[in-house]
Structure 1
């Protein structure tokens, strides 16, 4: 299987889809494969490359929160207002396209479960609307770059805006998990990075994983790119950019960097990190059918798809029971019902050029 994976990655490197890619695929301890270069014209990409995994962070943050539930620090259906008072007394738009002052009171508080299931009422606004314009003006649009504001300031700005639906009565992607990172930080009384390092990364030996890349390891951070037509445009240099070195502000609302080996250790240990019941909830569909609407995400997203706690779940077809997720900087992972794991790490923004690589990767048969 390493050969088929290596062939796939090599073909896409040669075609110019990505400068380089790291991957693994299989049961137990599959070999990590690296092909291509860390930057255009640069050195070979290392198997232990530390990459920007973006939304693959959601599964890790979810597990961190569930471990706090099991420690008795918070309940799944507890209001988050005790720790996030900014989110008290929410207002809710009368419709997604309504004016920002056309609102009604929230009928219930936002809970931890709402955050884990993207059901808080906050999330990406994909269609032009007063809310979408306000999010853009406040620096709250999701994108390839990390949030510019520090965690507390980011949450304060988000709290100025209304919810797009009543908590627990819809699904909108992304922002709930930045709120979740801040919640974990406030529950534990320390920055998210410090808590996750002590609770997960250190015990699991994930020494290439964190919310930034330490200076001593910057030689393992590849460049980042996006496609401009057929041309690759560098967006962050190798060893540089916003993830390089200790940030000057609290990034508890941010996203991780990691390695293929580290993320494999996390996925392999998942059954021992949280209870069987929480594990079941995490990897099964938690979204009610009436809350799966076409405007939630990209067209066709809900076809045979569900959402658990921080991961997407295949609910129909040949891959039924597979769960996983992608990151916007060209990363992807999945876990099959038989325990086979696939991890793909590139550093080129997902789009029409990179998505076929992800789809072909997902179609490989783990051995």
Structure 2
């Protein structure tokens, strides 16, 4: 007898939603299923495939930052300009859609809390504007492709531009967490990849998680695709692309690769009081991370995609369900077709595909999120 998870993945692979997918669902001993191919016409997708998890990285760097707070190296409400002097004195647009020279002085410094809650003033611009055009022109707009600049060069480009709003007075997705990665590397004095390995990945046994895939594991890196409405278009080959082997630049502003089991280890350590080893976070920091931290006034239609805020909040690096059947659930998706969630009872789900999120893939994500928890 197959499971609901296996049936869901097989149905969507058969329908051509994705070439392959890995799904994980459950608690302490979850079910893990792999269906389909690692690349079109290629070998079967393994259940230990190492995939590009993109924005699922945000939960990991949020935990890493809070652990530095607990170590006394950072403060939630202390300026980060000591480590990121590029942020000091940035001008602020009079409105997010204003011309780039229509600015006022900044009234407060950017803090760690601002970065964790996407309130720094930097972020995606979803409506046409001079700022959106400028970000596209200087290579700092958000997109499906990974870094093309080293961390310091990327931050220098970003800080050429004005803030969209005063720090702490709005919400814009994404860029605050790339800035956070640079911050973590500067506070610790080592590249983000090394700090995450020492502080989280090695202690948790997350042997296949990092900012790139080692050469000896490239046979487990699937191809990446987008769907143009008619067919799959390969954007990165299996075993190749920017994540294949150590990069030649500092990618402390980058995003992770991981496996379903590795990410589940991280989630269990975050939420389970009975997990092996000490808790990842003190109770108060875990509460802040996993509860809504965004004021109602900042949940505007232009801040993100329409309908996002209807029953959703944002904590530190994760979205939080505020109403409905899954109230109390937290989780987030990655732009390359990945998703995770954790319910209040500890049930976790991890979905890994390699097709950019969009209208073609989103039905699979929605059905995955609606799966019933497996019986113990």
TM-score band w.r.t. shorter chain: over 0.9
Instruction: Tell me, yes or no, if structure 1 residue 316 matches structure 2 residue 298.
Output: no
Instruction: Give the deviation of 1:127 after TM superposition.
Output: 1.1
Q: C-alpha distance in 2, partners of 1:269/1:59?
A: 12
Note the C-alpha offset of 1:318: 1.1
Matched, 1:104 2:111: no
Cα distance, 1:366 vs structure 2: 1.1
In the other structure, the counterpart of 1:301 is 308
Residues 122, 2 of structure 1: alpha-carbon distance in 2 compared, 3 angstrom cutoff:
farther
Q: Tell me the secondary structure at the aligned position of residue 333 of structure 1.
A: strand
Number of positions where the alignment pairs a residue of Structure 1 with one of Structure 2 = 367
Question: What is the alpha-carbon distance in structure 1 between the residues aligned to residue 29 and residue 117 of structure 2?
Answer: 30
Q: CA deviation at 1:229?
A: 1.4
Partner of residue 337, structure 1: 344
Quote the Cα distance in structure 2 between the aligned partners of 1:96 and 1:296.
Answer: 10
1:208 matched to 2:201? The reply is no
Deviations 1:150-209 (A, max 9, x none): 000000111111110110011000000000000000000000000000110001110110
Moved segments of 4+, more than 3 Å: none
Mean alpha-carbon deviation: is it higher for 88-97 or for 1-10? 1-10
Give the TM-score, by structure 2 length: 0.97
**Is the contact made by 1:2 and 1:25 (CA closer than 8 Å) also made in structure 2?**
no
Alpha-carbon spacing, 1:2–1:345, altered in 2? closer, same or farther (3 Å): farther
Describe the shift of the 1:198–1:38 C-alpha distance in structure 2 as closer, same or farther (beyond 3 A).
same
The alpha-carbon deviation at position 230 of structure 1 amounts to: 2.5
- Equivalent positions of 1:211-226 (< 5 A) are 211-226=211-226
User: Which of residues 324, 342, 353 is equivalent to 1:346?
Assistant: 353
Task: Kindly state the Cα deviation for residue 2 of structure 1 after the two structures are TM-superposed.
Answer: 6.8
**Counterpart of 1:265?**
265
Distance 1:366 1:310 in 2: 24
Unmatched tracts of structure 2, length 5 or more:
272-278
> C-alpha displacement at 1:31, in angstroms?
2.1
Q: TM-score, normalised by structure 1?
A: 0.99
Matched, 1:179 2:186: no
Query: Partner of 2:366 in structure 1?
Result: 359
Mapped pair 1:238 → 2:246: no
Q: Which residue of 1 aligns with 2:3?
A: 3
Alpha-carbon RMSD: 0.9
- Aligned partner of 1:117 in structure 2 is 117
SS at match of 1:226: strand
Structure 1 pair 2–188 and aligned structure 2 pair: CA distance change class (3 A): farther
Secondary structure of 2:167's counterpart equals coil
